[in-house]
Structure 1
Amino acid sequence: MKVALDTVGAEHPDTLTSMANLASTLWNQGDLDGAKALEEKALEVQKRVLGEEHPNTLSSMNNLALTLWNQGDLDGAKALQEKVLEVRKRVLGEEHPGTLISMNNLASTLWSQGDLDGAKALQEKVLEVRKRVLGEEHPDTLTSMANLASTLKAQGDLDGARALEEKVLEVKKRVLGGEHPATLSSMNNLASTLQAQGDLDGAKALQEKALEVKKTGSGRAPPGHNAQPVEPPNNRRTAKGHHRSKRPARRARLAPHRRPGAALRQPKKNPNQPRLRQKVSPSPSSCPPHPPDSSRISNDPTNA
């Protein structure tokens, strides 16, 4: 970054990209304060030079929101996410993939704040669009179903959650096979709901099946195949009774010229959100949807 500062100046797009790259490294090292300082500086320059609605500015808002989210500043994260969503709705339209990702990000924060009704409204919108545009069996649609099921479960609507989880599991069994890791995760989700409904025999049957597959070691994804659908939030998220890590969620490998609106990646661990939505705890507690987009988005100099 020092080379960029000395060569092209503090406000040059290349310098801002270097800031974002360094912030990502600090973030992965657990230095959230250091990452936040760089992200705030980059965002301040971009707002002034590029304007608040430039794609690079929105990407920086998203990055800073994720850092604040991991620091426990949910109000700060929410404010940035609301701004990003408002701009994307107006500029890209409500059905653009980038807008849907922003809806999911905000839903995750609302979930963490206890605003389940607000989270549900956003998740229902995302699911409705994805069903219509991508189809009911697309991985992103299934992820949205699981996200909404998690919220319904937290609200006590176990019948609604079960219906969605059964649909997700049926598709995964048919498309991925009964021994695929993503299928096993969905089995565990449904088992948790059945247990909460008092259907212990049904829960036991699913848990025994999942355990049998894991014991034999066959529950592995084929080479090059993601074990879970990626969103976005996505996701290891936090809720009561879940394990917390001392380190922030690990960001995806940097793509220096990645544009906003790409598919969400799931962070490894997150101190401020519950475990991954599809890996439920043994007790029938609910896990939230995908967390905010944890993919590190750097600024594209060609956009400046």
Structure 2
Amino acid sequence: MNASAPNDNLRQQAERALQTGDFAASARLYEQLLPDISPAAGTEDADTLTARVQYALALYGLADYPAGETQLRHVLHGQQQLLGLDHPDTLTTMARLADNLGEQDRWTEAGELARTAVERATTVLGAEHPAALTCRLTLAWVQYHTVPHESEESIRATVRDIVAVHGDGHRDAWAARHLLIETLCALHQTDEAESEAHALIALREERQGAEHPHTLRARADLALVLYTAGQADQARALIDEVAETSNRVLGGDHPYTAGIHATRSTIAA
């Protein structure tokens, strides 16, 4: 990647937009910053590949999974060539790609990729290496969606290890807690799910703000937990408030708003 000041500034803007949850702005900036993928161009440098991962995360936030998959497959090939099969960055990209495939309901592919990433990361780096933890989180997420009643132990272990290594302020810790809440709700362990949901909302509000897309999603999750626990009136009041905020802040066509409205429809049924 050209290291000129204008490009550095553009990248900082793109990263800032991604962190604040403005996925559309981040994606537009990365699209300006990054060259089109060209097989004839050869392997890109590590810095450019890292920027492409961030671009893929912005596309993930917009639910543009096919475009994100294209970026991640390009990155994975480049990292394998440049860094090797077992480098932490390569393994983390494998996990990101498995996440993407799962979102496209390609669970067999996602599971195979996530298991390979976990096996390599655990063998080469150790089960508590940050890259291994990211891979384990992805595999636990795939297991939740494919064998939910067999996934609780794996998810709890992943949450415990991520928090032990990173603390509560890391994005993987938040994602792991989100997955645990979903699992507990599905298993009707609603008291613990509600407690975890309140804790996660507090963390996200403190670190990301009350109107960040991930905070709004966490509040929608709490509404679903309350509904599952039989607190229908409280759940409806909360999801109505979250839906109104999401419409106002993110817009009615934002993927997170659509997800919140889907939760609202479930609660209203």
TM superposition score normalised by structure 2: 0.58
1:162 to 140, 145, 152: 152
1 CA distance for matches of 2:115 and 2:86? Answer: 13
Aligned pair partner of 2:192 in 207, 229, 239: 207
Q: Which moved more, 1:71-80 or 1:144-153?
A: 144-153
2:107 is the counterpart of 1:122: no
| Secondary structure, counterpart of 2:105 in structure 1 | coil
Q: Rate the CA distance shift 1:29–1:187 in 2: closer, same or farther, 3 A.
A: closer
Does the CA contact (< 8 Å) of 1:78 and 1:106 recur in 2?
yes
Distance 2:258 2:86 in 1: 27
Q: 1:156 to 1:20 in 2, by over 3 A?
A: same
Q: How does 1:181-196 map to 2 (within 5 A)?
A: 189=180, 192=183, 196=187
C-alpha distance in 2 between matches for 1:19 and 1:188: 33
Q: How much does 1:152 deviate? A: 1.3
Question: Could you tell me how far apart the structure 1 residues matched to 2:118 and 2:185 are?
Answer: 23
Deviation track 1:194-243 (CA, whole Å, cap 9, x = no partner) reads: 963xxx6xx47x829x84x999x9xx99xxxxx9xxxxxxx99x8xx858
Find the residue that maps to 1:271 and give its secondary structure: helix
Write the distance in 2 (CA, Å) between the matches of 1:131 and 1:192: 24
Percent identity for Structure 1 against Structure 2 = 20
Kindly indicate whether the alpha-carbon contact (under 8 Å) linking 1:20 and 1:38 is maintained by their aligned counterparts in 2. yes
C-alpha displacement of 1:111:
1.5
Given that 1:61 and 1:81 are in contact with CA atoms closer than 8 Å, whether structure 2 keeps it comes out as yes
Q: Which residue of 1 aligns with 2:104?
A: 113
Q: How does 1:47-196 map to 2 (within 5 A)?
A: 52-138=43-129, 140-156=131-147, 158-159=149-150, 161-165=151-155, 167-168=157-158, 189=180, 192=183, 196=187
Change (3 A) 1:186 1:88: same
More helix by share: 2
TM-score w.r.t. length of structure 1: 0.52
Q: Secondary structure at the match of 1:44?
A: coil
User: How many Å separate the matches in 2 of 1:43 and 1:110?
Assistant: 23
Please provide the CA RMSD for this pair. 4.7
Q: 2:9 aligns with which of 12, 18, 21?
A: 18
After TM superposition, give the deviation of residue 15 of structure 1 in Å. Answer: 2.3
Change (3 A) 1:13 1:59: farther
> For residue 256 of structure 2, what is the aligned residue in structure 1?
271
**2:82, 2:51 → 1: CA distance?**
17
1:53–1:158 CA distance, 2 compared to 1 (3 A): same
**Match in the other structure for 2:233:** none
2:237 aligns to what?
Answer: none
Q: Is the 8 A contact 1:127 1:141 kept in 2?
A: yes
Q: Structure 2: any 5+ residue segments left out of the alignment?
A: 208-213, 222-241, 264-269
Rounded to whole Å, the distance in 1 between the matches of 2:118 and 2:107 is 16
Secondary structure at the aligned position of 1:114 is classed as coil
The structure-2 alpha-carbon separation of the partners of 1:155 and 1:16, relative to structure 1 and needing over 3 Å to count, comes to same
Q: CA deviation digits over 1:119-162, x for unaligned, max 9?
A: 21121122112222333345654453343222112113522x13
Q: 1:52 to 1:189 in 2, by over 3 A?
A: same
Deviation at 1:19, TM superposition (A): 1.7
Q: Which runs of 5+ in 1 are unaligned?
A: 1-10, 222-226, 228-234, 249-269, 276-280, 282-304
Evaluate the alpha carbon distance shift between residue 52 and residue 214 of structure 1 in structure 2; reply closer, same or farther with a 3 A threshold: closer
